[in-house]
Chains A and B, each alone.
Chain A
């Protein structure tokens, strides 16, 4: 089963390799990982999407917690949360498909951020499912390149995750 985990870590030398090394060394799998500093000083937040059964997920969260550099681990899977991902998509466009491409962009509330005679580059944010959706529709035109950020997540409601 797919799990989305937020990890608050010390923003220090080598911390990313501690986390990624933990996953590779113990045979856990990483589907996506994103990381950036938070407002708290010296603190970064990682969002990791991983898969595994309950036993593996319990090990993953425990092992993450065991790292000295880890401040807090939250598995959002059973919680109410919002996930958003950014994707940049370069799609091939011919004169006859341009209008269709724009219609799709419109429907998904995406944006065209770069245009050449033969391509549109589209920016879209949304839940990972929404990005899969637009890709599905654009694919017949010829998607030349996709860059996805991997999702970041935040819990619903007033309470935040803090170290």
Chain B
């Protein structure tokens, strides 16, 4: 039997195991929406295409599956761009399907035409314009394969309207043949042996771990390796949930707002073992003094990450799951040497403990105003270990990373690479769709919340019980902090002049809202929110000019931190 292009698309998605799509209709995808009308695939209608992409992204980050988006041509497609760039920077697997004007009209400035393949070329792992219905099923197959394998990333399929209505016999290909795409999964055995040797020769080693651990699902392997060797673990923002933060080997976050202990350990180490991390400038600070005394081993599935920002003594290209397992196997053969090695780490461990005690992650508590850090600690106390936390971007994001103490993989979803305000609420929406039974909390700022607050409607419509926590300082706080520290407190355009009644806003959408202005309200309002079914917004009036510390000023080395007094 012949199917239309739009039916072929949906059948292909089913072959890929897709059960949920986030999207928004329009003229150029109306045929697809007609077929979705009685399809078994679940469609979540967000209130903005950017939010649809962030929602699919949140869904992908917490499940490890490919998130799927549909948007119409022109403005629908261009609205997805920030979402796609966000996913691209953090290597999140997505397939975005955009409608396009009919093929004969392409290039004519037709109504709602945009060259979305051209626009998204630098922020997708790959993209396709389907010009013939014969290519459609294969293109979907390739798109999913590219999105989820190797270093994952978003892939866009631009589907002209005439292809959606043409008909063809449906045949889903079983295999993918891409001449130009063959990721390396298996780490080179000899390189791994060399790594083992370098590690055994080190006296002050540090594991510097990034988001790749979550992406590869190598959390258990990382933990096993760290525990076997007793090498301490510094984590990037993207990896805060990749290694249990209360583990004695956890140094916490490193970089611009990292712990004193992590930054000092990296500065003083003699061997830096970078695993699925990419030496981002927010991590390294001044690059020439980053881990200056150390030899560097860099393990990553993406060869372009290696030696991009720093010289590396030992590169290993491969899937972290494979490389870390092999490394552990190698150590299992070297019990005696490993025993000596661990003995010799004692001095290093005591240095680290000294740093840890000298400047623990701390803040000045208060009885009179709500400290944002206190709210984060209380949220941790009253939420489950498997609660999924999303954030927006700003001070609240950093406090969450610093104070939440994540313990389970894929529980912290944040826009690390692009730093996209407005990410957290739709990402929480997507996470809640993936895990209806788990607690999902968006920790937000008053500024960021307004970038996608329309998604309250989606939460209410689908009764997604996301808890939204606004740490309201009436400032674009992170920018204000920079202005305070580096621009003589000239708060140019960072004061949110208009006080917004967020509780009323929540209520207008049919959600529940609470205000908390007093310190002693914090615990009760959090408990009340968790006890309330459906979406709940809590607006915490927090101390306005609190700063995120420690902080490495731009251009400084990471040991040159401004510390909390």
Interface string of B243-284 (1 = CB under 8 A from A): 000000000000000000000000000000000000000000
List the A side residues contacting B304 at CB < 8 Å. Answer: 59, 62-63, 66
| B125-A68 in contact (CB<8A) | yes
List the B side residues contacting A55 at CB < 8 Å. Answer: 307, 311
| A62-B121 in contact (CB<8A) | no
Q: Is B292 an interface residue (CB 8 A)?
A: no
Interface string of B128-147 (1 = CB under 8 A from A): 01010000000000000010
Interface string of B282-311 (1 = CB under 8 A from A): 000000000000000000001110011001
**A71–B121 Cα gap in the complex (Å)?**
18
**When the two chains form the complex, which single residue of B118, B180, B307 contacts A68, counting CB atoms closer than 8 Å?**
B180
List the B side residues contacting A21 at CB < 8 Å. Answer: 121-122
Q: Is B190 an interface residue (CB 8 A)?
A: no
| B118-A71 in contact (CB<8A) | no
Known: A63-B304, A68-B126. A14 touches B121 (CB 8 A): yes
Interface string of A58-70 (1 = CB under 8 A from B): 1100110111111
| B122-A58 in contact (CB<8A) | no
Q: Is B498 an interface residue (CB 8 A)?
A: no
| B122-A14 in contact (CB<8A) | no
List the A side residues contacting B117 at CB < 8 Å. Answer: 14
| B131-A68 in contact (CB<8A) | no
Q: Is B1 an interface residue (CB 8 A)?
A: no
Number of interface residues, chain B, beta carbon within 8 A: 19
List the A side residues contacting B302 at CB < 8 Å. Answer: 66
List the B side residues contacting A63 at CB < 8 Å. Answer: 304
Interface string of A111-128 (1 = CB under 8 A from B): 000000000000000000
Q: Is B358 an interface residue (CB 8 A)?
A: no
| A17-B121 in contact (CB<8A) | yes
Known: A59-B308, A65-B303. A18 touches B121 (CB 8 A): yes
| A70-B180 in contact (CB<8A) | yes
| A68-B178 in contact (CB<8A) | yes
List the B side residues contacting A10 at CB < 8 Å. Answer: 179-180
List the B side residues contacting A67 at CB < 8 Å. Answer: 180
Interface string of A150-163 (1 = CB under 8 A from B): 00000000000001
List the B side residues contacting A62 at CB < 8 Å. Answer: 303-304
Task: State how many angstroms separate the Cβ of B279 from the closest Cβ of chain A.
Answer: 13
**A19–B535 Cα gap in the complex (Å)?**
46
Task: State how many angstroms separate the Cβ of B317 from the closest Cβ of chain A.
Answer: 10
Number of interface residues, chain A, beta carbon within 8 A: 21
Task: State how many angstroms separate the Cβ of B199 from the closest Cβ of chain A.
Answer: 25
List the B side residues contacting A58 at CB < 8 Å. Answer: 307
Task: State how many angstroms separate the Cβ of B272 from the closest Cβ of chain A.
Answer: 19
B 302-335 contacts with A by CB, 8 A: 302-304, 307-308, 311
Question: Which of A10, A21, A59, A68 gathers the greatest number of chain B CB atoms within 10 Å?
Answer: A68
Residue of B nearest to A54 (CB): B307
| B178-A25 in contact (CB<8A) | no
Task: State how many angstroms separate the Cβ of A63 from the closest Cβ of chain B.
Answer: 5
Residue of B nearest to A163 (CB): B179
Q: Is B111 an interface residue (CB 8 A)?
A: no
**When the two chains form the complex, which single residue of A9, A13, A25, A59 contacts B129, counting CB atoms closer than 8 Å?**
A13
| B180-A71 in contact (CB<8A) | yes
**A128–B126 Cα gap in the complex (Å)?**
35
Interface string of A15-52 (1 = CB under 8 A from B): 00110010001000000000000000000000000000
| A13-B131 in contact (CB<8A) | yes
List the B side residues contacting A17 at CB < 8 Å. Answer: 118, 121
| A14-B179 in contact (CB<8A) | no
| A69-B121 in contact (CB<8A) | no
Question: Which of B122, B125, B131, B179 gathers the greatest number of chain A CB atoms within 10 Å?
Answer: B179
Residue of B nearest to A22 (CB): B122
**A63–B306 Cα gap in the complex (Å)?**
11
**A154–B304 Cα gap in the complex (Å)?**
26
List the A side residues contacting B122 at CB < 8 Å. Answer: 21, 25
A 53-93 contacts with B by CB, 8 A: 55, 58-59, 62-63, 65-71
List the A side residues contacting B308 at CB < 8 Å. Answer: 59
Residue of A nearest to B155 (CB): A68
**A40–B444 Cα gap in the complex (Å)?**
54
List the B side residues contacting A25 at CB < 8 Å. Answer: 122
| B129-A68 in contact (CB<8A) | no
Task: State how many angstroms separate the Cβ of A73 from the closest Cβ of chain B.
Answer: 10
List the B side residues contacting A69 at CB < 8 Å. Answer: 126, 180
**A62–B146 Cα gap in the complex (Å)?**
17
| A71-B129 in contact (CB<8A) | no
List the A side residues contacting B311 at CB < 8 Å. Answer: 55
Task: State how many angstroms separate the Cβ of B309 from the closest Cβ of chain A.
Answer: 10
List the A side residues contacting B179 at CB < 8 Å. Answer: 10, 71, 163
**A25–B120 Cα gap in the complex (Å)?**
12
**A68–B155 Cα gap in the complex (Å)?**
11
Residue of A nearest to B123 (CB): A25
A 89-104 contacts with B by CB, 8 A: none
List the A side residues contacting B146 at CB < 8 Å. Answer: 68
Residue of A nearest to B306 (CB): A62
Residue of A nearest to B150 (CB): A66
Residue of B nearest to A72 (CB): B180
Q: List 26 A-B pairs, Cβ < 8 Å.
A: A10-B179, A10-B180, A13-B131, A14-B118, A14-B121, A14-B129, A17-B118, A17-B121, A18-B121, A21-B121, A55-B311, A59-B304, A63-B304, A65-B303, A66-B303, A67-B180, A68-B125, A68-B126, A68-B146, A68-B178, A68-B180, A68-B181, A69-B180, A70-B180, A71-B180, A163-B179
Binding site for A on B (CB under 8 A): 117-118, 121-122, 125-126, 129, 131, 146, 178-181, 302-304, 307-308, 311
Known: A14-B129, A66-B302, A71-B180. 20 other contacts (CB 8 A): A9-B180, A10-B180, A13-B131, A14-B117, A14-B121, A17-B121, A21-B122, A55-B307, A59-B308, A62-B303, A62-B304, A65-B303, A66-B303, A66-B304, A68-B125, A68-B126, A68-B146, A69-B126, A69-B180, A71-B179
Q: Top 4 A-B pairs ranked by shortest CB distance?
A: A68-B126, A62-B304, A71-B180, A68-B181
